[in-house]
């Protein structure tokens, strides 16, 4: 079987890596296409090297732009590639613009699409990712879900259950594989940061970082929380571009640094006393690691991280943030569990299903 994988943005890389490995292990012919949605070395190259993903066979170099510009550029540059390479199936990952763009191209030229991390829903259509999820799932021929809520969402949207496979979480496959490496580098990282105890912050959602009226109060609260516990804040380029001057004015306990590589970030997540984020994947990783996670969003497409895991939705309620922050610091960790099938074998399940059903 000829499999073509499409990746484009940082969170795609750790999802594609284990699936590529599992399919390679079964002898399938594979192509990797990088759309170039993320292009800075710290947002892209560093993950290819660390996660042992081969260099892309094709780079589309689309770069940034409005949603329409970026999605259209990916589509028009991807179509000739897929026509020339004639894969039996194209695999797309997660919910970024590269995911939906590639799925649209394939569905119009009759090439089967597999969607890895299917079925997640925030029920918030103001999020660009929610639109990407809804459309990609309508178009996909194989839908691989990380948790049972995904299957329920897809059934509600009328998607035939024969196309849907509950396989578990491929991002956790990568986490489990590389946790020993993160543990190995942590002592050096800790010495470099000269911190015994710390929290970790990431923020990049347009709904949090685009408007002054939202972002500045948020930054103010983080700045004041950092006086109680130093906070490490690796800043996404989107956030950095908009707010570099403001970020420089923060007190020195809010450590504003460049984006980190996968191993470094994983090591910090595991050892942080609390993580404050608006990322999707980090909600999942902290649940697996048992680290308290305070999510600065009103909703989540990953509800299992709240019901079973360590995640608490804070929205923009700063009193709640302070109280949950102090709870985490006083050792009040929730007794949590790991979701079923988040066991490091999700990619093997995908490879087995595709080998059996899409030869
Ligand atoms: C994208 C995804 C989001 C994901 C996030 C992870 C969509 C709609 N959004 O958001 O779901 O959580 O990636 O990081 O696909 N930029 C750089 N260098 C880069 C990449 C981006 O400077 O390598 C800057 C550009 O100014 C760009 C902005 O960041 O305009 C936003 O990048 P974009 O890819 O549009 O979306 P993200 O916010 O990264």
Using one digit for the tens of pLDDT, what is the confidence trace for 277-300? 999 999 999 999 999 999 999 999
Q: Do 138 and 202 fall within a single domain?
A: no
C-alpha 196 chain-centroid distance: 27
Looking at the fold, whether 156 and 184 belong to one and the same domain comes out as no
Cα–Cα distance, 153 to 118 (Å, whole number): 10
Q: Based on the fold, state whether residues 104 and 162 are members of the same structural domain.
A: yes
* C-alpha to C-alpha distance for 78 and 88, rounded to whole angstroms: 16
Per-residue model confidence (pLDDT) at position 162? 97
Specify whether the CB–CB gap between 27 and 244 falls below 8 A. no
In a domain, 336, yes or no: no
**What's the confidence (pLDDT) of residue 333?**
63
User: 86 and 6 share a domain?
Assistant: yes
Q: Is the domain of 103 the same as that of 189?
A: no
For 122, the domain range is 2-169+342-357
Residue matched to tokens 């892209």 = 44
Number of domains in the chain: 2
Residue 337 domain flag: no
pLDDT of residue 93: 98
Kindly state whether residue 335 falls inside one of the protein's structural domains. Answer: no
158 and 183 belong to one structural domain: no
> pTM for this one?
0.97
Q: Is 38 a catalytic residue?
A: no
Helical H segments across 89-211, by residue range: 97-108, 128-139, 148-156, 170-193, 206-209
8 plus 154 within the same structural domain:
yes
**Residues 37, 77 share a domain:** yes
User: Strands of 311-313's sheet, edge to edge?
Assistant: 254-257, 231-234, 199-202, 275-277, 293-295, 311-313
Residue 128 CA: nearest ligand 1 atom is: 8
Choice from 40, 69, 127, 238 to test ligand 1 binding pocket (greatest atom count within 8 A of CB): 238
Q: With a cut of 70, which residues of the chain have pLDDT below it?
A: 332-335
Among candidates 79, 81, 99, which has minimal Cα distance to 140? 99
In a domain, 325, yes or no: yes
In this structure, the residue with its CA closest to atom 4 of ligand 1 is 96
Closest CA to 114 of 175, 196, 170: 170
The pick from 6, 8, 10, 37 for probing ligand 1's pocket by mutation, whose C-beta has the most ligand atoms within 8 angstroms, reads 37
* 14 and 103 co-located in one domain: yes
List 5, 34, 38, 204, catalytic entry: 204
Residue 334 lies in a domain: no
The answer to whether residues 134 and 163 belong to one domain is yes
Q: First-to-last CA distance in the chain? A: 6
Per-residue pLDDT at 301: 98
What CATH code is carried by the domain that includes residue 141? Answer: 3.40.50.2000
pLDDT of residue 358: 86
What is the predicted pLDDT for the residue at 359? 73
Q: Ligand 1 pocket, 337 CB below 6 A?
A: no
Centre a 10 Å sphere on the Cβ of residue 238 and count the other Cβ atoms it contains: 16
């Amino acid at each position: 079987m000829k499999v073509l994988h499409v990746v484009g943005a940082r969170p795609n890389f750790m999802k594609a890596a284990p699936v590529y490995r599992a399919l390679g292990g079964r002898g399938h012919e594979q192509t990797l296409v990088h759309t170039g949605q993320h292009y800075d070395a710290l947002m892209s190259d560093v993950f290819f090297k660390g996660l042992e993903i081969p260099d892309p066979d094709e780079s589309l170099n689309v770069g940034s732009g409005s949603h329409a510009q970026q999605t259209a550029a990916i589509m028009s540059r991807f179509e000739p590639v897929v026509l020339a390479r004639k894969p039996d199936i194209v695999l797309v990952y997660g919910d970024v613009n590269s995911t939906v763009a590639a799925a649209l191209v394939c569905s119009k030229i009759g090439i089967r699409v597999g969607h890895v991390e299917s079925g997640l829903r925030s029920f918030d259509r103001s999020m660009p990712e929610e639109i990407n999820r809804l459309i990609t799932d309508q178009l996909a021929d194989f839908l691989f879900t990380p948790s049972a809520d995904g299957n329920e969402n897809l059934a509600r949207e009328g998607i035939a259950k024969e196309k849907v496979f509950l396989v578990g979480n491929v991002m956790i496959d990568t986490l489990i594989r590389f946790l020993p490496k993160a543990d190995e580098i942590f002592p050096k990282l800790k010495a470099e940061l000269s911190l015994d105890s710390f929290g970790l912050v990431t923020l990049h959602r347009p709904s949090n970082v685009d408007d002054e009226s939202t972002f500045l109060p948020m930054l103010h609260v983080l700045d004041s929380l950092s006086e109680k516990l130093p906070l490490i804040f690796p800043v996404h380029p989107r956030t950095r571009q908009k707010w570099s001057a403001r970020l420089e004015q923060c007190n020195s306990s809010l450590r504003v640094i460049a984006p980190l590589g996968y191993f470094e970030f994983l090591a910090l997540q595991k050892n942080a006393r609390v993580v404050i984020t608006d990322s999707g994947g980090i909600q999942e990783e902290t649940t697996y690691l048992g680290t308290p996670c305070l999510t600065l969003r009103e909703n989540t497409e990953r509800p299992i991280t709240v019901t079973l895991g360590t995640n608490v939705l804070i929205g923009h309620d700063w009193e709640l943030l302070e109280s949950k922050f102090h709870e985490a610091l006083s050792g009040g960790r929730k007794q949590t569990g790991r979701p079923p099938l988040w066991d490091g074998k999700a990619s093997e399940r995908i490879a087995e299903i595709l080998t059996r059903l899409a030869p």
